[in-house]
């Protein structure tokens, strides 16, 4: 478990029972894409503890409502028009923000050194000669 009942009270100021905590835990595991057993980084555990606490606070009034809510933005009766939203109503907004901070959800940047054209051309020519020798390709 990412959080305890005491953690939820300390972080979100909400008293919850164990059943609500387990439901919130399952939702956060699903949203983050990792079960608790596979998370070992202390910083990730801290963020997911907060996410579970926020999810518990979100579910405080009715712990099962997140399993029943439609994602409906508007409904018009005259031509029966329904507009579905693009947000996850089953996930607390603060929990979603906390999940975005875990290490496997952050963007990765690959940095390269400065580009040396002559060195790259030399490398490619060497590779070409090597391939020709290995495959018996000879020009002229």
Report how far apart the first and last C-alpha atoms of the chain are (Å, whole number). Answer: 69
Looking from the CA of 94 toward its CB, the CA atoms found within 13 Å total 13
Give the pLDDT confidence of 110-128 residue by residue, as tens digits. Answer: 667 777 888 889 989 898 8
pLDDT at residue 140 is higher than 60: no
pLDDT of residue 70: 63
- Looking at residue 2, what is its pLDDT? 94
Query: Which residue matches tokens 């555990």?
Result: 45
Residues 6+ away with beta carbon under 8 Å from 32? 48, 51, 99, 102, 105
Extract the tokens encoding 127: 């590779």
How far apart are alpha carbons 53 and 55 in whole angstroms? 5
pTM for this one? Answer: 0.66
pLDDT in tens, 7-48: 999 999 999 999 999 999 999 999 999 999 999 999 999 999
pLDDT digits (tens, 9 = 90+) for 43-79: 999 999 999 999 999 998 777 778 776 666 666 777 7
DSSP the chain: ----HHHHHHHH-----HHHHHHHHHHHHHHHT--GGG---HHHHHHHHHHHHHHHHHTSS-TTGGGT---EEEEETTTTEEEE-SS-TTS-HHHHHHHTTSGGGS----------HHHHHHHHHHHHHHHHHHHT----
> Lowest mean pLDDT: which of 8-12, 49-53, 80-84, 91-95?
80-84
């Amino acid at each position: 478990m990412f959080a305890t009942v005491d953690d939820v009270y300390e972080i979100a100021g909400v008293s919850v029972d164990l059943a609500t905590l387990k439901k919130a835990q399952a939702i956060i595991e699903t949203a983050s894409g990792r079960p608790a057993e596979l998370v070992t980084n202390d910083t990730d555990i801290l963020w997911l503890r907060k996410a579970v606490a926020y999810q518990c606070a979100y579910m405080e009034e009715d712990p099962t409502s997140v399993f029943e809510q439609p994602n409906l933005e508007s409904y018009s009766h005259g031509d029966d028009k329904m507009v579905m939203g693009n947000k996850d109503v089953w996930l607390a907004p603060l929990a979603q923000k906390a999940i975005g901070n875990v290490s496997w959800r952050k963007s990765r940047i690959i940095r390269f050194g400065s580009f040396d054209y002559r060195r790259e051309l030399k490398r490619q020519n060497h590779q070409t000669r090597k391939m020709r020798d290995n495959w018996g390709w000879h020009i002229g």
